Amino acid sequence: MKAYKFLVCWVALAALLISCAPQHSQQILLYYYDPELDRDASGNIQCTNAGLVPVQRKLPTSLFGEALIEETIRLLIAGELTAEERGQGITTEFPIEDLVLTGATLIGGELTLSFEDPGFRTSGGACRAAILWAQIEATALQFPGVEQVRFSPEDLFQP
């Protein structure tokens, strides 16, 4: 009986230690925009990926493959910049009302990101659409196996 009680206590202690163990995380990058880094010689904003700035975030190591890509893009489009990042001049137009990532599929190096944008809020000028596109594309290209990024439906991020 003593052995049984000892075993029960040992199992309970082990379960407690496992539940209290620190969760392991992996670092990912979200690409936002700093217009000051994207100016030509005359001071005009060029609307290119030259203004993209990576910011670090952490996600659980339990995420990998398409699930990791999806969660990273969801984090990007949530648009949650820290006060320090905003103070450095980093900006974003994310979050966009009603924009939802519905899936990510990686086949043969081509990543297709599927979105719902019922209010067509991903359009609105060539500069804006180019920067939104570039932020998502740069964020997705950090993952092994991603060589090209496509959007579905194809009319997203159009001027």
Cα–Cα distances (Å) from 116 to 100, 122, 146, in that order, read: 5, 10, 22
Q: For residue 122, what are the domain limits? A: 24-152
In 3-state terms, what secondary structure has residue 151? Answer: strand
Q: What was the pLDDT predicted at 80?
A: 97
Q: What was the pLDDT predicted at 16?
A: 41
Residue 17 lies in a domain: no
* pLDDT for residue 75 is more than 90: yes
Residue 1 lies in a domain: no
Q: What is the pTM of this model?
A: 0.84
Q: Tokens standing for 15?
A: 């379960």
In 3-state terms, what secondary structure has residue 71? Answer: helix
Residue 158 lies in a domain: no
Residue 8 lies in a domain: no
Residue 19 lies in a domain: no
| Domains of the chain: total | 1
3 pLDDT band, cuts 50/70/90, is: low
* pLDDT for residue 106 is more than 70: yes
Pairing of strands 52-60, 110-116: unpaired
1 pLDDT band, cuts 50/70/90, is: low
Residue 12 lies in a domain: no
Q: What was the pLDDT predicted at 20?
A: 46
Query: CA 34, CA 11: separation in Å to the nearest integer?
Result: 53
66 pLDDT band, cuts 50/70/90, is: very high
Count of residues in the chain: 159
Residue 9 lies in a domain: no
Residue 10 lies in a domain: no
